Every structure is written in structure tokens, then in C-alpha cells.
Structure 1
């Protein structure tokens, strides 16, 4: 029992110190567009090691997925998930009453050479070689992943690369002026409503940050597609206000047909700085939203608890 507690806490400590946030009470951690599946493992009585990889957790991963395994007490295995995809084929998958679809992965180690290999418990002929890493080595790797090192937040203003770097301040300035002009026209009675550019801005930011391809406005059910994995993203936004305690999102329709894989929500300050970026897996929508039969839609109202759960 103590091994399990120490193992779990150790993973939390390492990943959170590197800026990763745990997705609910799972072994999935996310930072920017990096997602990490991080099950921990202890040595069994027969001196063998193994981990279980659940299909439900794989579905929570976003683009740039990695596997991080901790061998109690202070050894780690770190690999791009794509490198072990051959161990996760349907032919070697188990279905268990409490875990659903799952793959059992066996770990063979040589601590003297700091090398290891992974193979599926149902097929030991295919082995994937990996390196054993120390705590210092894994922390260094996690902090130096070459993608989206800083999450969007109120204390970490958005920083976009290359040409976007030169334009972002001017874009925010123009959008702020646009909002102020529309508000003044409404006050003068010229306009009854202001056509807020926030939605377009949020889609643009999300696509730049996560390297997504933006879809035409006529596309139903999703707004962008990951160029690498093909996963679909619906993108929503709301204006962030410090005194506000809840943020109702627009209707999410046809949830059963799974029109998207992940919902991205941006809470944006009036200055067009991003306060929070949330990534919500499709399978969580039904449980955190309310279904309204007359519109055949789920409605999510964000509160601080949901923001803390899904923010990057």
C-alpha cells in the first residue's frame, strides 16, 4: 500500500513541478499541446514489472502524446507514445470488467546498463528498447520539451512564434479598439448589439497554440483539426471577468454522434489576453453538462472548480 501512495505522489510531484496539470483523478497530465500518460509501477513479488494502459486514458490524450513510467523509487521510462504503438494493437488488448479495454505492458530492466524493454503481456516476441532515466534526467527532459513550454494563463501572457510574435500586440490593440467602438455605438443608440470578434480571435489563438488547421465556417460540429493526429476540436470562448463566478457556454449539439474529440475553451480578458485555456475531452461533456431535450443540446456552465480541473 505504501508503494502505491509514494508512487502516485512522486509522479504528481515531478510532473507538476514541470508545469503539467493532472486531468481529474487520472494518470493523464497536460501542458500546452503536450499530453503525458504517466502510470507508476512497483516491483512485484516475482521481481517483474508491468503497467496497465487503459483505452479510456488514451482517449484523454491530446496532440504530442508521451508515455512516462516511474519505476519505484527513482527510475523513469520516457517515450513518445507513437514509438510503442505496436504494443497497443486491438489484437493484444484485454477487456476487464472494472477497467474496460486495457493493454498489459511488461517491463524488463537492466539497471546496471540503464536499459529496458517493453512488450505486451500477450505477445513477448515484439520488444521496444527504451532507456532508464534518473529523476534529474526526466525533469530536464520534461522542462525542455520542444513544444509549448508555457501554458496560457493570466500570469503567462500568450507568446506566439515567428511572424505572430511581431503582430500579437497590434492585433490585441486593434481588437480592444474594435470592442470599445462597438460599445460606444451601442451607448449612442446607433447599434443594438455589437458583433464581438472574440470567437474568431479565440479560434485563431487555439489554432496557433496547438498547431491546428482551422475549418471553414460551414463545417458542422467542430472548428479545427490536429494536423498530426486528425483529432477534431470544437472551440468556444467567453470574456473573463475577475468578479464573475460562472460562464455558460453555448449549446453543444449532437453529442452522441461525437462531432469532435476535444472541446477547447478560452477565457479571454477584455484586453484580449488569455486568462485560461481549458481542454475538455468529449467523453466528459455529458457528465459536466446539462442536457436540454427541447434543443437536443448539452449546456456547460463553467465554474471555478471546472476551470481548475481542465485548465492548462
Structure 2
């Protein structure tokens, strides 16, 4: 289980909400310009895809492609799932929904929500992911929990951390 440092002071508390949102928009614009993120959504998913591309090589798929996020240099279709979690999150936290299992490898990244530091990275083959996933009629898809992925996935954290250190990301 990940450990989190003690809460720190709130250096931004004096800023107004509109000022903070303006800074956030500026930060997202800069991350887009650097090629780290591709959308205006919360950056964890785009950041995870960016890191996965550095690990596996290859090309990021268009956002409209539902079956995979990355086509690796080895021609593997890779689905990338990411979550940013804080101390209060528990092991039943779910990764985003699978709409398809038409990929060759699922890669899961777990980040600290306050620092975006990588906590761990895991891989699952599609048949394993499908067998462990729980279907939700509400979202018409399947999902995996943090605990299941952490327990059943192949640990590839070292490879991801190595790339992060080399890239200075």
C-alpha cells in the first residue's frame, strides 16, 4: 500500500477560485504545447498515455479509437488506464471503464493525486483483464478495481520509473 507524506501548507489558499482556474488552464495549455497531454480533461489519463508511449514506443491512437490508446513499436495495441489517488482512497477505487477488450495489453498506472508521482504500474493481458473485470449495466462496460490490478497485474513499475527519471518528467 502506498504511503503519503504529511499534509503540507496550502500555498495557494489566498488565490481566488477564478485565479486558480486560470492558472490551471494555463498549465494545461503548456502541457498540451509540450505534448504531455492531448485534451482539456483532467491530465492524469493523457499523462499516463504519454509515459506509456515513452516506455513502449509507437504511436498514440486518435481519441476516437475505443479499443486501444497506443500502438507500440512492436505493433501491440495497448489500452492505458490511470488513476490519481489520495490517502483517503481505498483499494476498491475503480479504473475507468473498458468498452472493449480488443487490445493486446492493458497497462494500469496509479499516481499520487497531490504530486502526480507514480505509485505503481501494472500490466494485464486482455483475457485476464476480462476474466477479472466486473460488468456495470449503468455504464455499459466493465471495470477493474485497484486491488485486483495491484494483486493480479505484472509489476512494471521499475520500467516506468526509469523512463520518468530519464525524461525528467
Relative distance call for 1:294 and 1:199 in structure 2 (3 A) is: closer
In the alignment, which residue of structure 2 is the partner of 1:233?
Answer: 78
In the alignment, which residue of structure 1 is the partner of 2:162?
Answer: none
Does structure 2 conserve the Cα–Cα contact (< 8 Å) formed by 1:254 and 1:296? Answer: no
Deviation of 1:282 (Å): 0.3
Relative distance call for 1:200 and 1:291 in structure 2 (3 A) is: same
Relative distance call for 1:292 and 1:240 in structure 2 (3 A) is: closer
Deviation of 1:224 (Å): 0.1
When you count strand as a share of all residues, which structure comes out higher? 1
Question: Is residue 2:109 matched to residue 1:266?
Answer: yes
Relative distance call for 1:286 and 1:185 in structure 2 (3 A) is: same
Does structure 1 conserve the Cα–Cα contact (< 8 Å) formed by 2:70 and 2:78? Answer: yes
Does structure 1 conserve the Cα–Cα contact (< 8 Å) formed by 2:58 and 2:71? Answer: yes
Deviation of 1:307 (Å): 0.6
Measure the CA separation in 1 of the matches of 2:120 and 2:51.
Answer: 12
Match 2:94 to one of 225, 233, 248: 248
Determine helix, strand or coil for the equivalent of 1:253.
coil
Q: Which has the higher contact order (CA 8 A, sep 6+)?
A: 2
In the alignment, which residue of structure 2 is the partner of 1:104?
Answer: none
Does structure 2 conserve the Cα–Cα contact (< 8 Å) formed by 1:267 and 1:276? Answer: yes
Measure the CA separation in 2 of the matches of 1:187 and 1:245.
Answer: 32
Unaligned runs of 5+ in 1: 1-153, 155-179
Relative distance call for 1:243 and 1:217 in structure 2 (3 A) is: same
Measure the CA separation in 2 of the matches of 1:186 and 1:280.
Answer: 41
> What does the per-residue CA deviation read over 1:151-193, in whole Å, with 9 as the maximum and x for residues that have no partner?
xxx8xxxxxxxxxxxxxxxxxxxxxxxxx79x96389899xxx
Q: Which runs of 4+ in 1 moved over 3 A?
A: 186-190, 293-296
Measure the CA separation in 2 of the matches of 1:209 and 1:240.
Answer: 22
Measure the CA separation in 2 of the matches of 1:201 and 1:234.
Answer: 14
In the alignment, which residue of structure 1 is the partner of 2:149?
Answer: 306
Relative to the length of structure 1, the TM-score reads 0.35
Question: Is residue 2:44 matched to residue 1:222?
Answer: no
Unaligned runs of 5+ in 2: 3-11, 23-39, 157-169
Who wins on radius of gyration, i.e. which is larger?
Answer: 1
Determine helix, strand or coil for the equivalent of 2:106.
strand
